[in-house]
Amino acid sequence: MPIDVNEVFETARMTLYQNFDIRTTTLGINLKDCIHSDFKRFCSRVHRRVSTAAANLVAQARKLEVLYGVPITNKRVSVTPVSLIMEAHARPEKFLEMARTLDRAAAESGVDYVGGFGALVQKGATRADSALIEALPEVLSGTGRVCGFLNVGSSVSGINMDAVIALGPVLKKTAEATGNGIGCSKFVVFTNAPEDNPFMAGAFHGVGEPDFSVNIGISGPGVVRDVVAANRDCDLTALSEVIKRITFKITRAGELVGRELARRLGVPFGIVDISLASTTAVGDSVAGVIEAMGIERVGAHGTTLALALLMSAVKKGGAMASGNVGGLSGTFIPVSEDEGMVRAVQEGALGLAKLEALTSVCSVGMDMFAVPGDTPAETVSAIIADELAIGVINNKTTGVRIIIVPGARPGDIIDYGGLLGRVPVMEVSRFSAAHFIRRGGRLPSPSTSMRN
């Protein structure tokens, strides 16, 4: 379907008045052919591949911002899951050196983040996977742009609980190494992780991808909020149609930018991720969309239904606009990056239990929320396991990005500034699941996995 000039002008209006942006352009890079038995040569190849491709991405993305008048908030790179290319160098100190190589390449080229420092361990961990996990605290605290992930479960394999158990101590060490826990913001644990996700911290270039691909992550909660607020008295069917139509428009804008960027880079266009992603800007809030529907505060009874309606309409509108919808595609509900979510926690409308419940209908999971520094490692692992169980049983992507704040107590506010915003420290249950979590093993996959 051709894109005409009127759509471009409409996109410009959304940009000027409703905080619309292309949240990220992410260039996926295959690093498998950089592997070498000589580790210094290996790192040199990785540095050259990433820095050259990333510099071109940044240059072309900036030209498109001027051409179309649409801000591209982040320019990012994702790489082959690092554990897969490090089998011959499977020692924690080698992983740290590789992370520093990626960090240096990202800094020199001007990209904001490089994702893919992670492993796929849904059925078990190799020697390289275990070395990567051991290195994570140093990597996340000692680099500025490297983001990590683990995929520890899927609806076909179940959940690798041994990996989940390991993450509690790893994340606590990461939090302590960064003082205010900020290192934890660069790591996400997944179940059913997609291979073409452009959003950090969980982006990686999957093994089923080509050598390079451009994936676009659009946003626009401010745009959606305005059309919802303008339709206060319609029924839910009509409200869904309104959201579908505006999502169609913002998806078309994202695909226009993505295809032109891919053409200029000479690489395949991958997907448009139609996730609504909040920022700290006034009015650019998913919580604001929910409250515009008629929910007094996010977390009140009715919030899950409202979020389900929003998710369904966003997916339908995006799928109607593009044949290349992928990634996570739905709605992020981060706490720290959304002022409406922060307010809901501060006023007692939203706690961990309701946040977890909301993720049963949204596409991403429990994102950018904070817990006290004295939270036991087993409790951290249990929070992660509960969320991932929702993804496995419901055959959907779920993830957890939990920030552990040393010395903080429930109710404290930690201000990270910039896009990360400020986060209220949330109360965790005082009752323990330590004995259950320590059992380890693997949660068996549900019967729905037997589709053959």
pLDDT tens per residue across span 53-105: 999 999 999 998 888 777 888 899 999 999 999 999 999 999 999 999 999 99
**pTM for the full model?**
0.90
State residue 384's pLDDT score.
Answer: 96
Structural domain contains residue 301? no
**Mean pLDDT for the stretch of residues 325-334:** 81
Contacts of 348 (CB under 8 A, 6+ apart): none
* DSSP class per residue in 329-373: -SB---STT-HHHHHHHHTTS--HHHHHHHTTTSSSEEEEEEEET
Q: What is the pLDDT of residue 375?
A: 95
Residue type, 390: I
281 inside domain: no
Q: Which value, to the nearest 10 degrees, does the dihedral of the CA atoms of residues 428, 154, 251, 187 take?
A: 50
| Strand, helix or coil for residue 289 | helix
CB 99 within 8 Å of CB 146: yes
Give the 3-state DSSP-derived string for 239-285, with helices as H, strands as E and coil as C.
Answer: HHHHHHHHHHHHHHHHHHHHHHHHHHHCCCEEEEECCECCCCCCCCC
Give CA–CA dist 450/156, Å, rounded.
8
Asked if the structure places residue 106 within a domain, the reply is: yes
Q: Give me the percent of the chain exceeding a pLDDT of 70.
A: 93
Q: How many domains does the chain have?
A: 1
CA distance 69 to 62: 10
pLDDT at 252: 84
Does residue 322 fall inside a structural domain?
A: no
pLDDT score at 319: 86
pLDDT of residue 115: 95
Residue-level pLDDT at 450: 67
pLDDT at res. 14? 58
Residue 263 CB neighbours (<10 A): 12
Higher per-residue confidence, 226 vs 19: 226
Q: What is the CATH number of the domain that holds 178?
A: 3.20.70.20
Residue 341 domain flag: no
d(CA 445, CA 71): 42
Q: Which of 229-243, 282-296, 402-416 has the lowest mean pLDDT?
A: 282-296
Q: Considering only 159-163, 167-171, 415-419, which range has the smallest mean pLDDT?
A: 415-419
Domain that holds residue 183: 23-191
- pLDDT value of residue 17: 47
More confident residue, 279 or 98: 98
Q: Is 376 a residue whose pLDDT tops 90?
A: yes
Average pLDDT, the chain: 89
What confidence score (pLDDT) does residue 402 get? 95
Task: State pLDDT tens for residues 119-141.
Answer: 999 999 999 999 999 999 999 99
What DSSP designation does 266 have? T
- pLDDT, residue 16, reads 47
Tokens of 381: 């692992």
| DSSP, res 275 | -
pLDDT at 48 over 90: yes
User: What band does 8 get if pLDDT is binned at 50, 70 and 90?
Assistant: low
In a domain, 83, yes or no: yes
Beta-bridged to residue 148, according to DSSP, are 117, 187
Least confident segment among 54-58, 226-230, 443-447: 443-447
pLDDT-derived band at 1 (thresholds 50, 70, 90) equals: very low
Model confidence at 202: pLDDT above 70: yes
State the Cα–Cα distance between residues 433 and 294, nearest whole angstrom: 37
pLDDT digits (tens, 9 = 90+) for 24-38: 889 999 999 999 999
Tell me the two tokens of residue 64: 């498109």
